[in-house]
Amino acid sequence: MTDAPDHRPTMAGITIVDRMAQAMPVLLVPILLVLGFLAIGNPSSWLTLTVSGLAMGMMIFIMASGLTLVFGLMDVINFGHGAFISVGAFVGISVVLGLSQWAQAPSLVLNLCVVLLAVLAAMVVTGLLGWAFERVIVKPVYGAHLKQILVTVGGLIVIEQLIHVIWGPDEIFFARPETLKGAVTFWGAALEKYRLLAVAIGLVLFIAMRMVFRRTKIGLIVRAGVENGEMVEALGYRLRLVFVGVFIAGSALAGLGGVMWGLYQEVITAGMGEEMMILVFIVVIIGGLGSVEGAFIGALMVGLLQNYIAFLEPKLALISNIGLMTAILMWRPQGMKPVVKAK
Amino acid sequence: MSDPILRLEGVHTDIAQYHILQGVDLEVPRGAVTMLLGRNGVGKTTTLRTAIGHWGTRAGRILFDGEDVTATKTADRARMGIGYVPEDMGIFSDLTVEENMTLAAVSGPLVPARRDWIFGAFPPLRTFWKSPAGTLSGGQKQMLSIARAMAEERRLYLIDEPTKGLAPAIVSTMAGALRELKTQGASILLVEQNFAVAKALGDHAAVMDDGRIVWTGPMSELATDAGLQERLMGLSMEAT
């Protein structure tokens, strides 16, 4: 082959200020942990609140990760995402109630089996529901934001009413599996066992998602598709099929989040998903549209801040998340780690 | 012209309420470089985007290697062997150079010999293989954009203004890479505003005006006829 003409590649050096700006979103969580510690003063209280905040953040992240990808990939605003959270919770908790003997047995293995079966059932049902939702409700309104909002809100209402039809109109109270009740004491702090489990599941899920996105071709296609779907198609990938897969996975994750949130609250209602959507949207917006890592950081910040503020100044807890979103958007109007430019 | 690799027959394309392509008839010969020339806004980019399938046609037919692909989706046209380099480069900034290239190898892993060949044409890509594509300079991004189209052998390359806004040294790197593709017998439809590059690379030329092809012929004829250039494109370029 012919020699390429002489060209000496150079790359402008990245200044320390630029590096700090890039790393700042990741540093916000440790900064918040330190500020929380300084403000609370008592190490054991801080540790209890931190674990509680991380658990809450992980569960919100699980619910939000699918939504941010759906928005990033196909520019679809899905208000119906909350329905998958509710359906997941009802299906999962039905499994827990159906296997009450296993759930009440003082056996960690049996209890974890119950949780695992509940999670699997919820994810399968919400995954299938997500597939039907995309085909019937979302597909006809691609590219039309106003219609998307109207029909997905309509879908949410219909599914909530179906929950009332199937499980009845009342809220359902229940107890967690036996060995997940109570707390362990560590460093003078009471750490709820279930919250530790939630943190572990959230972390495992985040690491698994990162590996899929970084190490597999389907992950590359999704990341590239969020940034420039047209170009992904021009390379030879049918993005619509990828999107359907992501929609199903996102719905299943919402179902998982619903089960975990239900077990956390020990009560489920048809409207619980709709209520969670406020936090989920805050996380998606401050994380940056289309960014799973941004959603992860945002969810942890929302969880931690809400717990710290509720302890320090309970009246302010109601507005802490809106305040956080305002501050983040004033600093970075497109969120912390935007992949999709504002449309 | 017999058996062209790409043929557009009376293609009309609308973008929103605008009627951009108004009956484009174009043949791209096999194993040659066809320059698509014309003033700004005459429909060159729309022609390429219509050929790859980003814009649908209102009327007319698109034949790729004799097969009617007018209703074929973009991804399927790409898998049939059409490589596309858009005007805005279409780089995935969040992905590394390596990940961009991995994605471009649709039918399997990037073949090492092919990768080394690309490194020969575009040495900076080797240097920045593990760097995020968003941190590359404009010229390096353009190299990556073309390299991506070259990641696998294609039956046709659609390349939109590869030298736009680039420094002279990088323009010659681009020209060298395209010349290399040409010597390998690739079929290329190239939109290019740099007439020196067009003259050096082109075998055939098609000139557009107002959404139609108004002249086709050998590039050498257009390159040597200043009057023809002025009549077709509005200004006389360096005729030799």
Chain A hits for B137, CB-CB cut-off 8 Å, are 9-12
Per-residue confidence at A1, pLDDT binned at 50, 70, 90?
very low
Concatenated DSSP letters for B41-91? TSSHHHHHHHHHTSS--SEEEEEETTEE-TT--HHHHHHTTEEEE-TTTT-
Q: Do A224 and B103 touch (CB under 8 A)?
A: yes
The two beta strands, B212-218 and B204-209, are antiparallel
How many degrees, rounded to 5, is the angle at CA B59 between CA B54 and CA B61? 75
Q: Do A233 and B131 touch (CB under 8 A)?
A: no
Residue B235: per-residue pLDDT = 59
Tell me: pLDDT of A9 over 80: no
Domain that holds residue B77: 6-233
Would you call B95 an interface residue with chain A, using a CB distance cutoff of 8 Å? yes
Number of structural domains in chain B: 1
Would you call B45 an interface residue with chain A, using a CB distance cutoff of 8 Å? no
Amino acid at the residue A10: T
Tell me: pLDDT of A11 over 80: no
**What's the gap in Å between the CA of B124 and the closest CA on chain A?**
6
Residues B128-157 have pLDDT tens digits of 999 999 889 888 999 999 999 999 989 999
Query: From CA A20, how far away is CA A28, in angstroms rounded?
Result: 11
Residue B168: per-residue pLDDT = 83
Residue A43 CA from chain centroid, whole number: 28
**Do the beta carbons of residue B149 and residue A23 sit within 8 Å?**
no
Tell me: pLDDT of A343 over 70: no
CATH number at residue B169: 3.40.50.300
Tell me: pLDDT of A291 over 50: yes
Per-residue confidence at A342, pLDDT binned at 50, 70, 90?
very low
Query: From CA A284, how far away is CA A82, in angstroms rounded?
Result: 14
Which domains are present in chain A?
A: 58-331 (1.10.3470)
Q: Which of A248, A229, A244 is nearest to A343 (CA)?
A: A229
**Do the beta carbons of residue A72 and residue A285 sit within 8 Å?**
no
CB burial of A197-223 (b: ≥16 within 10 Å; e: otherwise) equals bbbebbeebbeebeeebeeeeebbbbb
Q: Do B52 and A237 touch (CB under 8 A)?
A: no
Start-end of H helices in A75-179: 81-98, 100-104, 108-133, 145-167
The pair of three-digit structure tokens given for residue A40, joined into one six-digit string: 């609370």
Residue A285: per-residue pLDDT = 93
B182 lies in some domain: yes
By CA distance, what is B177's nearest residue in A? A4
B200 lies in some domain: yes
Amino acid at the residue B223: A
Q: Do A234 and B95 touch (CB under 8 A)?
A: no
Query: From CA A240, how far away is CA A142, in angstroms rounded?
Result: 11
CB burial of B87-100 (b: ≥16 within 10 Å; e: otherwise) equals bebbbbbbbbbbbb
Q: How far is CA A14 from CA A17, A22, B128, in A?
A: 8, 10, 15
Average pLDDT, chain A: 89
Q: Do B90 and A234 touch (CB under 8 A)?
A: yes
Q: What interface predicted TM-score (ipTM) does this complex get?
A: 0.91
Tell me: pLDDT of A13 over 70: no
Residue A227: per-residue pLDDT = 87
Query: From CA A321, how far away is CA A336, in angstroms rounded?
Result: 15
By CA distance, what is B81's nearest residue in A? A236
CB burial of A100-130 (b: ≥16 within 10 Å; e: otherwise) equals eebbebeeeebbebbbebbbbbbbebbbebb
Mean pLDDT for the stretch of residues A108-133: 95
Tell me: pLDDT of A14 over 70: no
The two beta strands, B82-85 and B156-160, are parallel
Q: Which of B148, B176, B183 sits opposite A5 (nearest CB)?
A: B176
Tell me: pLDDT of B194 over 90: no
The pair of three-digit structure tokens given for residue A159, joined into one six-digit string: 């599914």
The pair of three-digit structure tokens given for residue B63, joined into one six-digit string: 């034949």
N-term to C-term CA, chain B: 26
Higher confidence at residue A73 or residue B70? B70
B1 lies in some domain: no
Residues A239-279 have pLDDT tens digits of 888 889 999 999 999 999 999 999 999 999 999 999 999 99
Mean pLDDT for the stretch of residues B64-85: 95
- Residues sharing a CB contact under 8 Å with residue A55, sequence separation 6 or more, in sequence order: A192, A194, A195, A196, A198, A199, A202, A264, A303
Amino acid at the residue B120: G
The pair of three-digit structure tokens given for residue A280, joined into one six-digit string: 């989920």
Residue recorded with tokens 């250039």: B229
- Residues sharing a CB contact under 8 Å with residue A46, sequence separation 6 or more, in sequence order: A36, A37, A40, A189
Tell me: pLDDT of B174 over 70: yes
Chain A hits for B79, CB-CB cut-off 8 Å, are 236
Q: Do B173 and A221 touch (CB under 8 A)?
A: no
Residues A293-328 have pLDDT tens digits of 999 999 999 999 999 999 999 888 888 999 999 999
Q: Do B173 and A238 touch (CB under 8 A)?
A: no
Least confident of A5-19, A26-40, B10-24: A5-19
Tell me: pLDDT of B117 over 80: yes
The single-letter DSSP state of residue B111 is P
